[in-house]
Amino acid sequence: MSKSSSAAETIRPHSSAVVDGNDRAAARAMLRAVGFTDADFKKPQIAVASSPSDMTPCNVHLGDLSDHARQGIAAAGGKPVYFNTITVTDGISMGTQGMRYSLVSREVIADSIETAVAAEGFDGLVAIGGCDKNMPGAMIAIARLNRPAVFIYGGTILPGFTADDCDHKKPLDVVSVFEAVGKHAKGELDDAGLKAVEAAAIPGPGSCGGMYTANTMASAIEVLGMSLPNSSAQLAVSEAKRQDCERAGEAVMNMLRKGIRPSDILTRKAFENAITVCIALGGSTNLILHLLAIAHAAKVSLSLEDFREIGERVPLLADLKPFGKYNMSHLVRIGGIRPMMKLLLDRGMLHGDCLTVTGETIAETLRDVQPYAAYPHEQDIIHPWEQPIKSSTHLRVLHGNLAPGGAVGKITGKEGLYFKGTAKVYEGEEDALKGILRGDVVKGDVVVIRNEGPCGGPGMREMLSPTSAVAGRGLIKDVALITDGRFSGGSHGFDVGHITPEAAKGGPIGIVRNGDLIEVDAVKNTISLLIPDDEYAARMAAYRPAPPKETRGVLAKYAALVATASEGAVTDKALAL
């Protein structure tokens, strides 16, 4: 083997098998038709996978960002090849049967990216995502493929303001609209007021503006080391984001030349770092679901217990929506998440030796990062270590006779740390929303929404509509909500989701009756159905889950394959046993 051919195989380990040699003439002929030249066949082929779509503001601009990523790859000596995958938008399908496809789309996206990259022999990958499921979906594919790759976050949206908010004191986002619906139902907001919020809340491209799931996952991916520094804290429509895309193209070529692969980056320590930072930022409960799934794809051991254990030593420091005051765009102005990472590193809370896509370690990328401006006189978004919003994690991992396999609560303390109330049971989200808007739910109730789990939904819908309706009706501190479904990153209140086993799998949430007492203790981390043991046993023995809702198509396949929420709701878990 010649030295030149050896070098080619080193930086073209996959594309060389597709386009080199006389026997590959047909493949080259196909590629010439899409713009390849003789010179291009000698370059590493780098896929640019994105999900541009007119379906949602989170993704509408991703085509433009893909162009900049391709420019960066070409300038660094690679041959960019673009393809797109699907996306769905939770903000539009929320509260409808269409929302059942949301979490399912994560697996479809992961499968489609893996399929295209592996089938066509790409040497590396730049993946661009802008919303809740295409981001973890892309990361699952990156972990499975284990080829040099960089993830690019599409960026956060700017806040909206109604016409009468001349001083811009009341920033709006999509959650503002959901909560306005509850206020309208209560009579606090008239039709014109609801329309004003609807028309102003989402002013342009970008992902939902609080520390909801998109910004949580963008932060997690940056801390994992799979995106460039500051990629998570840039506005969707900005020169900084365009430059981020171009640098990502250069970075993936650098990884290829240095032999850096995702498996070198996605280590157990890297996942611990991501959990730590996202707890301090006040991240979404979906962080747990998605990090478990990405870790599974990366063959890294991670469990609910890790989130509990790490969370007990990490304070909540960021006053960000949904439970706080500020949007991600405000955090961008004061430095994004990098100063938070540096703060945690300096306190020994991060593993500084973890590798990143830059080729440097986390500690090396943070060496010149300056701290946030002084609190509270110069900024009041990030609290100092000594004055946390909460001294330990808001993401509570709960167990008890209602959730033997675990559950996840998003409890900041603003709504209290303990709730005992009377069950009001609904067999699905739509019925619950109708009941809340009708006024059936009153102070002291525990709203139970079941048959919404990964299998039973199928698809594990988010309960943003019910939680926002509760907030809009002024019951945020007086009502708890539990479900075998999940919560949007925009949900806030005394909420517990991911209850495992789910009702469809014979879980105890299926035996709860109207009027039962339920206790949730976010200090002891317990969730309990307060009925006598013999009654509990009798109900469990008599319980028969409902038959599958779907018997054909993607939802039926998903329901048949999906693992529990406590295992990340992945669809290939059984294959690894």
Confidence of residue 402 (pLDDT cuts 50, 70, 90): very high
Pairing of strands 79-84, 45-50: parallel
- 450 close to 427: Cβ distance less than 8 angstroms: yes
| Extents of the domains making up the chain | 43-158+205-366, 395-567
Annotated binding residue 245: no
Alpha-carbon distance 127 to 485, whole Å?
28
Mean pLDDT on 26-53: 97
Annotated binding residue 90: yes
Handedness of CA 64, 69, 70, 75 (dihedral sign): positive
Mean model confidence pLDDT for the chain? 95
Alpha-carbon distance 571 to 575, whole Å?
9
Annotated binding residue 133: yes
pLDDT confidence of residue 6: 52
Assess whether pLDDT exceeds 90 at residue 468.
Answer: no
Q: Which CATH superfamily is domain 43-158+205-366 in?
A: Glycogen Phosphorylase B; (3.40.50.2000)
Assess whether pLDDT exceeds 80 at residue 8.
Answer: no
Annotated binding residue 132: yes
- 529 close to 402: Cβ distance less than 8 angstroms: yes
pTM summary value: 0.96
Q: Does domain 395-567 have CATH number 3.50.30.80?
A: yes
What amino acid positions are annotated as catalytic residues?
Answer: 488
> Which DSSP state fits 209?
S
Q: How many residues does the chain have?
A: 577
Query: Hey, do 43-158+205-366 and 395-567 end up sharing a CATH topology, with the first three levels equal?
Result: no
Alpha-carbon distance 2 to 247, whole Å?
32
pLDDT over 70 percentage in the chain: 98
301, exposed or middle or buried, with CB in 10 Å at 0-12, 13-18, 19+? exposed
pLDDT confidence of residue 1: 37
Alpha-carbon distance 78 to 146, whole Å?
18
> Which DSSP state fits 343?
H
